[in-house]
Structure 1
Amino acid sequence: MPKDFLKGASDEYDVVVIGSGLAGMTAANILGRAGHRVLLAEQHYKLGGMATWFKRPGGHIFDVSLHGFPFGMIKSCRRYWTEEIAESIVPLKNIRFDNPMFSLTTSYNRDDFTRLLIERFGIEAATIKAFFDTARGMNFYDDQKLTTGQLFERFFPGRPDVVRLLMEPIVYANGSTLEDPAITYGIVFSNFMSKGVYTFEGGTDRLVQLMHDDLKASGVDVRINCDVEKIHIENDRVTGVTINGRKIGCRAVVSNANLKYTILKLAGKEHFDRKFVDDAEAVRLNNSSTQVYIGLKPDERVDENMGDLFFTSTAKEFRTDLLLSKDVTSRTYSFYYPRTRPQGRPRCLIVSSTNANFADWAKLSDEDYEASKQELIEGTLDHLNNYIPGIRERLDHVEAATPKTFQHYTQHVAGASFGTKFEGLGVSRALPEQVSGLYHAGSVGIIMSGWLGAINYGVIVANDVDALLMKAPAPQPHAAE
């Protein structure tokens, strides 16, 4: 008989959280701490969503998305998770760039970028200050008409080299482009500029285990291999969900699934106003990614002067279409040294990431798909050999992931690594106005993408759900006569 992953689960909860990405787990943890009965249902066999990892023989543990996040993660994790998690967040040492326009190393904060822009790029200090102050003053309620490209043109006209320095890491962090609203760039850029880039010591596997432990301590019922098939709605109000064929009642649902999948598939468009459905269908998905995972032989080491994050490109100019092209010109390397996982076997690992279009991979035949993955691997090794000579002889394991890989494991529509474009945020926030008790928290609007954005969005939504539940407490059973 197949295992019943809902064995022992209640027939009813206050809240069901669909999906265990960082936003979903954070919302569940806050609501559990507040005393609500919470079920966290994850369709995969482990928690984390895109914040995940996998193991390969030889002691290799590859992190899929643990590449870097802002200092603000420490505050958010300390407040909404645990002190142990917060204290394990450590700064990356060096961020490197190498492209036809410039080659440099930076600590990636405002002071060092100001120095670089003055000394290496000849920009006036007053212009730099005005740019940083403008970006820092942005919030997601601001005018959306100004694009990121127009923002750069205002402060650095005719300086594609400056644009490249300022923009490339943010594209990597959240999929933002020059054509997107400037606020989607400014907010994220300012977060990083405060104190640089950070990572989690111990790897994603340790982080998610600590989060799982805290979820259980908060009273959350955590279930894996539990696929939510339907959100039940009656009289414009959430009444429950179907998980693995079983109906479970609830007064609120927080979906950490893809926004469009939540509305159009799990809930069903018949429960929403026509205008809202039109808006949801018009929301554009953000791009996906390809990655190449490289594990070095046990005794092989990479000089830490290579840096922690290394932004490389062979393209002569910075263009969005080039960043997404299947003909890869730009790669970002994340280097994981033995210090990344001091509790494990000492290993050097490298993950090469590049943005990608789902359609470029989905349309391939099985044979062409496998051949394209191998081309991606070989092209990456050829490129990396320029920086780490003899890389092929030094590696112990190599494999690739594509947008189809991310779609398969996360069920993200089109493997969208960064959720939706900015218009998705308004649709996501308006869900409970359409259906009482229905909420969404996840990677939307670019500014709510990435590790910090996802956690903070989970916080915002958890507070909304808590307010709803406190207005209408669950009916209490009558005392026995």
Structure 2
Amino acid sequence: MPRDFLKDAADEYDVVVIGSGLAGMTSANILGSAGHRVLLLEQHYKLGGLATWFLRPGGHIFDISLHGFPHGMIKSCRRYWSRDIADRIVQLTNIRFDNPQFSLTTSFNREDFTRLLTTDFGIAPQTVSDFFDTARGMNFYDDQATTTRQLFDRFFPGRDDVVRLLMEPITYANGSTLEDPAITYGIVFSNFMSKGVFIYEGGTEDLVARMKKELVKNGVDIRINCGVDKIDVEDGKVSGIQVGDRKIKCRAIVSNANLRTTILNMIGPEKLDRDFVDRTQAVRLNNSSTQVYMALKEGEEIDESSGDLFFTSTAKEFRTDLLLSRDITSRTFSFYYPRTRPQKKKERYAIVSSTNANWSDWSDMSEEDYNASKADLVETTIEALERYIPGVRDKIDRAEAATPVTFNHYTRHEMGASFGTKFEGLGVSRELPQQIGGMFHAGSVGIIMSGWLGAINYGVIVSNEVDQLLFNESSPV
């Protein structure tokens, strides 16, 4: 008999959280700590969503998305998770760039970028200061008509090299383009520019284990291998969920699944206003990614001068279409030294190469062509890495690739979208409770709410709204 992962689960909870990405786990943790009865359902066999990892023979551990996030993660983790987690967040100071226009190393904060822009790129100090102040002053309610390209043209006209320096890391971090609203760039960029790039020391598996411990401590009922098939709605309000033939009642739902999947599949268009359905169907998915995971043999090392994050490109200029092309010119290498996992007895080195990618370039292949393309992706990536670390091929013990199809398979993200939706998704996500009482969404939407910090903070915002709803329903009239 197949295992019943909902065995002994209650028939009713105050809140059901669908999906255990960072937004879902944060929502569940806050609501559980507030005393609500919370059920957290995850369709995969591990928590974390895209904030996950996998193991391979030989003791190799690969992180999927532990590449870097803003300083704000420390505050958010301390306040909404634990000091124990927050204290393990450390700064990365060796961020490298190499492309036909420039080659440099930076600590990736405002002070160092100001130095680079004024000395190496010859930009007037006042212009640099005004640009940073403008980005820092952006918020969700600003004009959305101004594009990121127009923002750069205002401060750095004709300076494609400056645009490349300032834009390429953010495109890598959340998939934003020059044609997206300027606030989708400015808010994320200023978050990083406050104090630099940080990472969790201990690896993703350690972080998720500590988060799970907090969830259990706060009374959250966690169930893996439980994909939600349907969200039940009665009289304009959520009434529960269905997992296979099991129905569970609840007063509120937080979906951390893909926005379009939540609305169009789990809820269903027939339960929503036609205009809202049309707007949901018009929401564009963001792009996906390819990754190549490389683990070094035991005893082999990489000098830390290689950097922590290394943005490389052979393209003569910065273009979004080139970043997404199957003919890869831009790769970001994340280096994982033994200090990434100081708790491990054996010192191991790993490298993950990430590139932005289109679903359509990988989704319609035969199995033979798909496997050949993955093998070619691994081979060309190692060739590219050899330019910077001669002889690295002989040091590699294991190498394998992931594509948009891989991300779709493991996360169920529509079209393997590793950065959620484009900006218009944020409005649809925020308006969902107005369509159906007690129905909330938290996840990577609108680029702003992408990445580790954006996901956690969106989980915070939504959990506060759910808590207020439940409190008002419980209060005597």
The equivalent of 1:291 in structure 2 is 291
Q: CA deviation at 1:474?
A: 9.3
Tell me the SS of whatever aligns to 2:86.
Answer: helix
Cα drift, residue 234 of structure 1? 1.0
1:125 is aligned to: 125
Instruction: State the Cα distance separating 1:125 from its structure 2 match.
Output: 0.2
Q: Is contact 2:18-2:41 (8 Å) kept?
A: yes
Equivalent positions of 1:288-437 (< 5 A) are: 288-344=288-344, 345-437=346-438
Contact 1:70 1:197 in 2 (8 A): yes
Q: Distance in 2 between matches of 1:430 and 1:184?
A: 19
Task: Report the AA paired with residue 38 of structure 1.
Answer: V
For 1:303 and 1:392, locate their aligned partners in 2 and report how far apart those are by CA, in whole Å. Answer: 15
TM-aligned CA deviation for residue 235 of structure 1? 1.1
Shift of 1:26: 0.1
Q: Is the 8 A contact 1:135 1:189 kept in 2?
A: yes
Quick check: 1:14–1:474 contact (8 Å CA) kept in 2?
A: no
The aligned counterpart of 1:479 is none
Q: Distance in 1 between matches of 2:386 and 2:129?
A: 39
Correspondence list, 1:18-417, <5 A: 18-344=18-344, 345-417=346-418
Compared CA separation, residues 474 and 368, structure 1 to 2 (3 A) = farther
1:93, 1:319 → 2: CA distance?
27
**Aligned amino acid, residue 429 of structure 2:** S
Cα offsets for 1:355-405 (capped at 9, x unmatched): 000010001111110011011011101110011111221100000000000
Task: Spell out, residue by residue over 1:281-333, the C-alpha distance to the aligned partner (whole angstroms, 9 max, x if none).
Answer: 00000000000000001111111011100000000000010000011000000
Q: Within 1, Cα distance between the matches of 2:103 and 2:417?
A: 31
Structure 2 CA distance for aligned equivalents of residues 465 and 310 of structure 1: 40
Superposed CA offset, 1:101-143 (max 9, x none): 0000000000000000011000000000000000000011111
TM-score, normalised to structure 2, is 0.99
Do the aligned partners of 2:93 and 2:108 also contact (CA within 8 Å) in 1? no
Q: TM-score, structure 1 length as denominator? A: 0.98
Distance in 2, matches of 1:134 and 1:472, equals 42
Counterparts of 2:141 and 2:456, CA distance in 1: 19
* Whole-angstrom CA distance in 1 between matches of 2:415 and 2:404: 7
Given residue 129 of structure 2, which amino acid in structure 1 is its aligned partner? K
Q: How far has the Cα of 1:30 moved from its partner? A: 0.3
Distance 2:137 2:365 in 1: 45
**Structure 1 segments of 4 or more deviating over 6 A?**
none
SS at match of 1:252: strand
Q: Please state whether the residue corresponding to 2:362 is helix, strand or coil.
A: helix
- The letter for the 2-side match of 1:130 is D
CA distance in 1, matches of 2:463, 2:393: 48
Q: SS of the residue aligned with 2:467?
A: helix
Q: Which stretch has the larger CA shift, 320-329 or 465-474? A: 465-474
CA contact (8 A) 1:45 1:224 kept: yes
Q: Does the CA-based 8 Å contact 1:229-1:245 persist in structure 2?
A: no
**Secondary structure of 2:17's partner?**
strand
Aligned partner of 1:9 in structure 2 is: 9
Distance 1:99 1:30 in 2: 44
Amino acid at match of 2:170: I
Task: Give distance in 1, aligned partners of 2:462 and 2:19.
Answer: 14
The equivalences for 1:428-447 within 5 A come to 428-447=429-448
Partner SS state of residue 472, structure 1: helix
Q: Distance in 2 between matches of 1:214 and 1:30?
A: 10
Give the Cα separation in 2 of the matches to 1:209 and 1:140.
33
Native 8 Å contact 2:309 2:332 kept in 1 = yes
Q: Deviations over 1:53-91 (max 9, x none)?
A: 000111110000000000000000000000110000000
Amino acid in structure 2 at the alignment position of 1:34? A
Match of 2:274, as an amino acid? R
How much does 1:93 deviate? 2.1
Unpaired segments ≥5 residues, structure 2: none
- State the AA in 1 paired with 2:157: P
SS of the aligned residue for 1:346 comes to coil
User: How big is the shift at 1:245?
Assistant: 2.2
Structure 2 CA distance for aligned equivalents of residues 274 and 225 of structure 1: 33
How far residue 244 of structure 1 moved from its aligned partner, in angstroms, is 3.1
* Letter matched to residue 373 of structure 2: S
Q: Deviations over 1:397-449 (max 9, x none)?
A: 00000000000000000000000000000000000000000000000000000
What CA distance in whole angstroms lies between the structure 2 residues aligned with 1:51 and 1:420?
A: 17
Q: What's the secondary structure of 2:143's corresponding residue?
A: coil
- What is the number of equivalent residue pairs in this alignment? 475
Render the CA deviation track for 1:159-202: whole Å, top value 9, x for unaligned.
00000000000001111100100000000000000000000000
Amino acid at match of 2:188: V
Other structure's SS at 1:4 match:
coil
Does 337-346 or 42-51 show the bigger shift?
Answer: 337-346
Q: State the alpha-carbon separation in 1 of the partners of residues 174 and 410 from structure 2.
A: 19
Q: Secondary structure at the match of 2:229?
A: strand
State the Cα deviation string for residues 219-257 of structure 1 (Å, max 9, x = none).
000110111110000111000000132000001110000
SS of the counterpart of 1:367? helix
Residue 448 of structure 1 pairs with residue 439 of structure 2? no
Q: Helix, strand or coil for the counterpart of 2:294? A: strand
The share of aligned pairs that are identical, in percent, is 72
